[in-house]
Amino acid sequence: MTWKQKGIKHDAKHGQLRLSKGWNLKDGRSDFILAEYETRPDVEVENIQQVRAVWNGDEWELHLVCKKEIPVGDAPGDNTAGIDLGISNYLAIDYEDGPSELYPGNTLKEDKHYFTREEYQTEGENGPSKRALKARRKLSRRKDHFLHTLSKHIVERCVEKGVGNIAVGDLSDIREDENGDSRNWGQSGNKKLHGWEFDRFVRLLEYKAEEHGILVDRVDEGNTSKTCSCCGQIRDGNRVERGLYVCSSCETTMNADVNGAVNIRRKITQSPPTGDMSNGWLAQPGVLLFDRESGRFTPRERGDCKP
Ligand SMILES: [Zn+2]
């Protein structure tokens, strides 16, 4: 459901929106939907182009589409990076220049355990209880915060690494099944971050990257999990065991998610395999954990970094 500019009245002073119900639904001139909003201090609602009502799986959200001019800087460099949504809920990023990194998305899953089932799933006669609604809102805000922090952090890393282009696997084919779980993703394992969350992440990444002049390209994921990023062999016989990719041709062993991210990065770069695969980057990438207290990503100590 979408409202165009004609159907929106914005009262910025009081943080209110009046949304028209449409001529066939409204009882009279004063019949409209009144919505109040709050924003973070650094967000300003202005130049609203559209309001969309979006079902997030638990409740309806209103998404405000605003027009904003962003000064676009020059790209920090010509390097490329590749991002793959890996198995076991990890997001892997490979930089052309320097070690790859893994970001666990299980913070999102852990958050769900943070609430008891009763709190989260209670459905009373008149819909979910107040407590359940509160829990769901809190969960949704935490998820939001996580995705914002992750995309911002990755863009900062890309600036440091002189990246001008980020390739991201296009997962638009993933849809949740009737249980709300992502479908089995065949060879590459279950992609446990739901499609829409990843899609949301990519959109956040796109607009944060744009401010720094970095382009985000969605590329076809085809074969990226089956291809050996070391020798280029595509074989069904290549194994993934405990998150490690083992090539039956050149016998390289690497972190499977990082292998995928390298292959995705190569989709937008001409550079051939570099022969730098023996330096441990691919087998033991850096792992960054989300620290709830500081709200930041911090490197996990080396030595135990097998995901
Ligand atoms: Zn190989």
243 Cα: distance to centroid of ligand 1 (angstroms): 16
The confidence band for 183, taking pLDDT boundaries of 50, 70 and 90, is very low
270 Cα: distance to centroid of ligand 1 (angstroms): 19
258 Cα: distance to centroid of ligand 1 (angstroms): 14
Greatest mean pLDDT among 116-125, 193-202, 208-217 lies in: 208-217
227 Cα: distance to centroid of ligand 1 (angstroms): 8
**Predicted confidence (pLDDT) at residue 299 exceeds the cutoff of 80:** no
Q: What's the pLDDT tens digit per position in 40-58?
A: 777 889 999 999 998 877 7
What pLDDT, on a 0 to 100 scale, did the predictor assign at position 281? 54
What pLDDT, on a 0 to 100 scale, did the predictor assign at position 206? 94
81 Cα: distance to centroid of ligand 1 (angstroms): 21
Q: Which residues contact 24 (CB under 8 A, 6 or more apart)?
A: none
Tell me the helix, strand and coil percentages in the chain, rounded to 5. 25, 30, 45
What pLDDT, on a 0 to 100 scale, did the predictor assign at position 113? 60
Cβ 288 vs Cβ 298: under 8 Å: yes
Strand runs (DSSP E) across the chain, as ranges? Answer: 2-4, 8-11, 16-20, 32-36, 48-55, 60-66, 79-85, 90-95, 101-104, 123-124, 127-128, 163-169, 215-219, 239-241, 244-246, 253-255, 286-291, 296-299
What pLDDT, on a 0 to 100 scale, did the predictor assign at position 213? 94
115 Cα: distance to centroid of ligand 1 (angstroms): 44
278 Cα: distance to centroid of ligand 1 (angstroms): 12
231 Cα: distance to centroid of ligand 1 (angstroms): 4
**Predicted confidence (pLDDT) at residue 29 exceeds the cutoff of 80:** no
Sign of CA dihedral 151, 157, 159, 163: negative
**Predicted confidence (pLDDT) at residue 233 exceeds the cutoff of 60:** yes
Q: Which domains does the chain carry?
A: 2-66 (no CATH), 79-299 (3.30.420.140)
- Cα separation, 165 vs 212, whole angstroms: 11
11 Cα: distance to centroid of ligand 1 (angstroms): 60
Give me the residues near ligand 1 (ion), CB cutoff below 5 Å: 228, 230-231, 233, 247, 249-250
Reading across the β-sheet that carries 32-36, which strands appear in turn? 8-11, 16-20, 32-36
273 Cα: distance to centroid of ligand 1 (angstroms): 11
Q: What's the pLDDT tens digit per position in 237-248?
A: 677 777 788 888
- Cα separation, 188 vs 293, whole angstroms: 33
233 Cα: distance to centroid of ligand 1 (angstroms): 6
Q: What's the pLDDT tens digit per position in 260-280?
A: 899 999 888 765 555 555 445
Mean pLDDT is lowest, of 122-126, 137-141, 183-187, for 183-187
Per the model's pLDDT, the better-predicted residue between 255 and 239 turns out to be 255
What pLDDT, on a 0 to 100 scale, did the predictor assign at position 104? 80
87 Cα: distance to centroid of ligand 1 (angstroms): 20
Q: What's the pLDDT tens digit per position in 89-108?
A: 678 899 987 788 988 876 66
**Predicted confidence (pLDDT) at residue 222 exceeds the cutoff of 90:** no
Region at 232 (left for phi over 0; alpha for psi -120 to 50; beta for the rest)? left
173 Cα: distance to centroid of ligand 1 (angstroms): 28
What pLDDT, on a 0 to 100 scale, did the predictor assign at position 177? 40
